[in-house]
C-alpha cells in the first residue's frame, strides 16, 4: 500500500494536554502504530545536554537530530543503547525541546524520520504540527487542549508517579511560558487550524476523550 493511502490520525495540542495518552490508547484500540513526535525533540535536547551543546547552535543541533541513534520498543525509548524513557520526560528536557523545536534545520532533519512511521495498517501521532505540517493529508485531525491549571495538575501527577520531584506552581509557570513560545514561534506555531476538530479535555476523563476520537474516526 502506498504511504499516502495509509490512514493517519493526528492529535496536536499544547504541553501536558493529555494528547499522548489519548493517542496511545486510540492507536491500541485501532491496532495502529503510534508516534510520539515530541519524544524526538526531547531526545535531541537530551543529547545536546549530554554533549554540552549550546542550544543556540542550530547547525550542530540539526546534525544531532539527523544522527540520533534511537530505538522505540513498545513503551521504552533507547538512546544509544540506554533506556531514557523517563529521563526525556523531565521538565528541563521538555523546556529545552520546546526551544529546539523553533529551529528550521532541526525540524527538517526530523521530518523524514517522523513520516517514516506511516506504515500499515495505520498511524496515530501526537505533537504540535502533525496535522498542519508533517501529515497534512491525515484522515482525522484533532486539536486536543485543556486549561493550563488542569494541565499542570496532570503533569504533576504524572511526574510524581514516575518518582520525579515536581512543584505544581513551577509546572504551571513552565506550561504557560511554553504555550506562549510554541504559539508565537514563526515556524510551525502551535495553533488550532480550521480543519482540525477541537477537543477540550478540561472536564473529560481519558476514556471519554478516547471515545470521542474513535467516534469521529468511525464516521469518516
The three-state DSSP-derived secondary structure of 71-133 is EEECCEEEECCEECCCHHHCHHHHHHHHHHCCCHHHHHHHHHHHHCCCCCCCEEEEECCHHHH
pLDDT at 75 over 80: no
pLDDT at 189 over 90: no
Read off the pTM: 0.85
Reported confidence tier of residue 165, pLDDT bands at 50, 70, 90: confident
Q: Distance between terminal CA atoms of the chain?
A: 20
Sequence spans of domains, the chain? 8-213
Reported confidence tier of residue 1, pLDDT bands at 50, 70, 90: very low
Percent of the chain whose pLDDT exceeds 70: 99
d(CA 75, CA 56): 31
Average pLDDT (29-49) is 95
d(CA 167, CA 159): 10
Average pLDDT (143-166) is 91
d(CA 57, CA 149): 33
d(CA 24, CA 211): 13
Let me know: does 210 contact 201? Beta carbons within 8 Å: no
List the beta bridge partners of residue 180: none
Residues ≥6 apart with Cβ < 8 Å to 154: 16, 18, 146
Average pLDDT (51-79) is 91
pLDDT at 3: 59
**pLDDT, tens digit (0-9, with 9 covering 90-100), for 84-102:** 998 998 888 988 998 898 8
Reported confidence tier of residue 158, pLDDT bands at 50, 70, 90: confident
Give 8-213's CATH code, choosing from 2.60.40.3080, 3.10.129.10, 3.30.1300.10, 3.40.50.300.
Answer: 3.40.50.300
**pLDDT, tens digit (0-9, with 9 covering 90-100), for 12-26:** 999 889 999 999 999
Reported confidence tier of residue 28, pLDDT bands at 50, 70, 90: very high
**pLDDT, tens digit (0-9, with 9 covering 90-100), for 103-117:** 999 999 999 889 989
Amino acid at each position: 500500500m502506498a504511504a499516502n493511502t495509509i490512514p493517519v490520525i493526528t492529535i496536536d495540542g499544547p504541553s501536558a494536554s493529555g494528547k499522548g495518552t489519548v493517542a496511545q490508547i486510540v492507536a491500541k484500540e485501532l491496532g495502529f502504530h503510534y508516534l510520539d513526535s515530541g519524544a524526538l525533540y526531547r531526545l535531541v535536547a537530551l543529547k545536546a545536554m549530554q554533549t554540552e551543546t549550546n542550544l543556540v547552535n542550530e547547525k550542530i543541533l540539526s546534525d544531532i537530530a539527523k544522527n540520533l541513534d534511537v530505538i522505540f520498543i513498545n513503551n521504552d525509548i533507547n538512546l544509544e543503547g540506554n533506556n531514557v524513557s523517563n529521563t526525556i520526560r523531565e521538565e528541563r528536557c521538555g523546556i529545552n525541546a520546546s526551544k529546539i523545536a523553533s529551529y528550521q534545520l532541526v525540524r527538517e532533519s526530523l521530518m523524514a524520520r517522523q513520516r517514516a512511521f506511516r506504515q500499515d495498517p495505520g498511524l496515530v501521532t501526537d505533537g504540535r504540527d502533525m496535522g498542519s505540517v508533517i501529515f497534512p493529508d491525515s484522515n482525522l485531525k484533532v486539536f486536543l487542549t485543556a486549561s493550563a491549571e488542569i494541565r499542570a495538575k496532570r503533569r504533576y501527577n504524572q511526574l510524581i508517579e514516575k518518582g520525579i520531584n515536581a512543584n505544581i506552581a513551577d509546572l504551571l509557570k513552565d506550561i504557560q511560558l511554553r504555550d506562549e513560545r510554541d504559539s508565537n514561534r514563526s515556524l510551525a506555531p502551535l495553533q488550532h487550524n480550521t480543519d482540525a476538530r477541537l477537543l477540550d479535555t478540561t472536564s473529560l476523563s481519558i476514556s471519554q476523550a478516547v471515545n470521542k476520537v474513535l467516534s469521529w474516526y468511525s464516521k469518516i
